Copies of this chain bind each other. A is one copy, B any other.
């Protein structure tokens, strides 16, 4: 008996991330980690969730039962109102509840991508988006927001590869991994290019609520609705998440889009996992309804202080030739190292000799470039730990620069 690996062709693309495997080893108390990119659990509204869970389980006969693939109606209505406040007039039929926004990316890949179709993504982009789209045997092309390339180039490249450009994907606010924000002009240009390509535009709003300073830019979807008059005429598909605002562990996110897209996603979910956990949606609805508006400023205050500490520490401790972003929100600062300094080599040395960790940037590039970049997250460690960690990182860099 051979038990041959008779997996689908796409399974060849599924490989364990070496970074993820490495990071598993970092769960040691003497290591300062800027790797994670996870929210500080001390900021979770724990008491509110305990009360909401208890109310729902004991008070609502449906809390433990099967429920609809679209999602829990009061939560969909709350989110329609939330999107309306963000400048996207929507109703509950425009909202689809997902098990976190990662599932939105998976299902959008499933909806749009046949093998060899092209997804346009920034270089770098969210690692989880590459993973989600990769499973559908996508081809990636570089979405260039500075205008060096345009719609015609993208379409020609996609056709040459035997597919079509199906969507552009980006996070426009404090993106993972760079922390950068696309300005209004860049957003309008992107809508225009997607109009020219007649493709979808997936806006990942995972960090949207976490702005600490600077002027808020409306979501791309809001700008498109303002242009075209009605969400039903819009190609932008907005993916939102409660993971960065209320709790990641409950796995509740949403998609806001025109109805035909929502209806297809509901069919994908019926066949995918039936529905997101009923109780979780009820609890998130209760907590969001009761305290979302006053909870966000608490997050902003804490994370802004950590970002400030990290930027100050970087200015103090980075060797010459290292550059970094100045994010107005989110959880990440993105560093470009002097040429020749490799993020993976730096990580190995930093962990071994200085007990500080981060994520090498190469994994965020669809083409495997970006070896001289790294991502630091400031969301979890308090300021004094950030100071110490950045000092260690500077020392590790100087070691590596001295060697090369």
Contact = CB atoms under 8 A, between A and B. Distances in A.
A192 to B, nearest CB: 11
Interface string A12-24: 0011110010000
A398 interface: no
A315 B235 CA distance: 57
B274 A277 contact: no
Interface range on chain A: under 10, 10 to 19, 20 to 34, or 35 or more?
Answer: 35 or more
B102 A274 contact: yes
Interface in A76-119: 98-100, 102-103, 106, 110-114, 117
Nearest to A228: B1
A283 B6 CA distance: 36
Contacts of A297: none
Contacts of A235: 1, 3
Contacts of A135: 110, 268, 271-272
Nearest to A129: B271
Nearest to A234: B3
Given A54-B54, A136-B8, A198-B3, A251 B276 contact: yes
A110 B249 contact: no
A279 B249 contact: yes
Given A247-B64, A271-B128, A164 B6 contact: yes
Contacts of A268: 14, 135
A248 B112 contact: no
Contacts of A11: 111, 264
A103 B248 contact: no
Given A38-B65, A49-B57, A249-B67, A8 B112 contact: yes
B6 A199 contact: yes
Interface string A57-77: 110011111110000000000
A100 B250 contact: no
B264 A8 contact: no
B16 A263 contact: yes
Contacts of A112: 6-8
A197 to B, nearest CB: 9
A64 B1 contact: no
A211 interface: no
A150 interface: no
B166 A65 contact: no
Contacts of A272: 102-103, 106, 132, 135
Interface string A38-56: 1101001011011001100
B250 A279 contact: yes
| Most chain B beta carbons < 10 A, residue from A7, A39, A61, A278 | A7
- Nearest 10 pairs between A and B by C-beta? A131-B271, A249-B278, A64-B247, A103-B273, A53-B53, A50-B57, A14-B267, A8-B114, A64-B249, A251-B277
21 contacts: A3-B235, A4-B198, A6-B199, A7-B111, A10-B110, A49-B64, A50-B57, A50-B58, A53-B54, A64-B248, A65-B249, A67-B249, A98-B273, A99-B276, A106-B271, A128-B274, A132-B272, A135-B272, A251-B276, A277-B280, A279-B280
Interface of A: 1-11, 14-17, 20, 38-39, 41, 44, 46-47, 49-50, 53-54, 57-58, 61-67, 98-100, 102-103, 106, 110-114, 117, 128, 131-132, 134-136, 164, 166, 195, 198-200, 228, 233, 235, 243, 247-251, 258, 260, 263-264, 267-268, 270-280
